[in-house]
Amino acid sequence: MLKHAEVWAAIDRLAHEKGFSASGLARKAGLDPTTFNKSKRMTRDGKLRWPSTESISKILHATNSTLGEFVALIGDADSGGVYRNIPLLGLAQAGANGFFDDAGYPVGGSWDEIPFPGVGDPHAYALEVSGNSMEPVYRDGDTIIVSPGASIRRGDRVVAKTVEGEVLAKQLRRKTAHKIELQSLNADHEDRVIELQDLEWVARVVWASQ
């Protein structure tokens, strides 16, 4: 699984390879210069603080780096991070039959693969975004990592599939015993309320990359 020290070490390595300090890299990506300071990596009460997926995406974009390159930096960390191939599918294809079982786990032999660090979920998979329906959060060509085994809370970004085969990537606004409320990531697209009887599965987005 991903380790806190490994991810931060990868950010430091990326900054060094591109000729920046940690604060210089943050500034290059349009972030607050203190975003990656060592003092920001742990809270005052000693809890680990992780970099956000948005900040990782921004530094990859700013340095013209790929997810695979960042993964390699994690794998080279002193603590010996390990990554594996996980299934990859286009988001537009995900609604077709034969790619998921009833629990939302990837099945079948038609998936491609990409390297990614272990995320603690053997059923994790990647979806490649197409179109502009999720802008500005996710853009055409972005890759999102989905973990069917991850717990879901209000405010999480999720992928949901209805029993009719529709696949949605939105933000969880509320979940009750009878329905799930999803907020669109793009203001031009409507929010959705889905009865649980009409929902096949929902899974959390745990990583995103440009």
Does domain 84-209 match CATH 2.10.109.10?
A: yes
Task: Please write the tens of the pLDDT for every residue from 137-181.
Answer: 888 888 999 999 888 989 899 999 999 999 999 999 999 999 999
- What sign does the dihedral 37-126-113-106 (CA atoms) show? positive
Pairwise CA distance, residues 96 & 184, whole Å: 22
- CATH code given to domain 4-75: 1.10.260.40
Q: What is the pLDDT of residue 13?
A: 83
Share of the chain above pLDDT 90, in %: 45
Of the candidates 114, 122, 127, the one whose C-alpha atom is nearest the C-alpha of residue 161 is: 127
Structure confidence at residue 194 as a pLDDT band (50, 70, 90): very high
Share of the chain above pLDDT 70, in %: 93
Pairwise CA distance, residues 54 & 121, whole Å: 21
The residue to which tokens 């085969």 are assigned = 165
Task: Please write the tens of the pLDDT for every residue from 22-80.
Answer: 899 999 999 999 999 988 888 888 889 999 989 999 999 999 888 877 877 775 444 44
Q: What is the pLDDT of residue 88?
A: 94
Q: How would you classify the pairing of strands 125-128 and 83-90?
A: parallel
What value does the mean pLDDT take over residues 121-133?
89
Listed by start position, the domains of the chain span 4-75, 84-209
Pairwise CA distance, residues 62 & 87, whole Å: 27
Residue type for position 152: I
Asked if 68 and 9 touch (Cβ cutoff 8 Å), the reply is no
Pairwise CA distance, residues 196 & 36, whole Å: 40
Q: What is the pLDDT of residue 78?
A: 43
**Is 134's pLDDT higher than 90?**
no
pTM of the model: 0.63
Residue positions counted in the chain: 210
Q: What is the pLDDT of residue 69?
A: 77
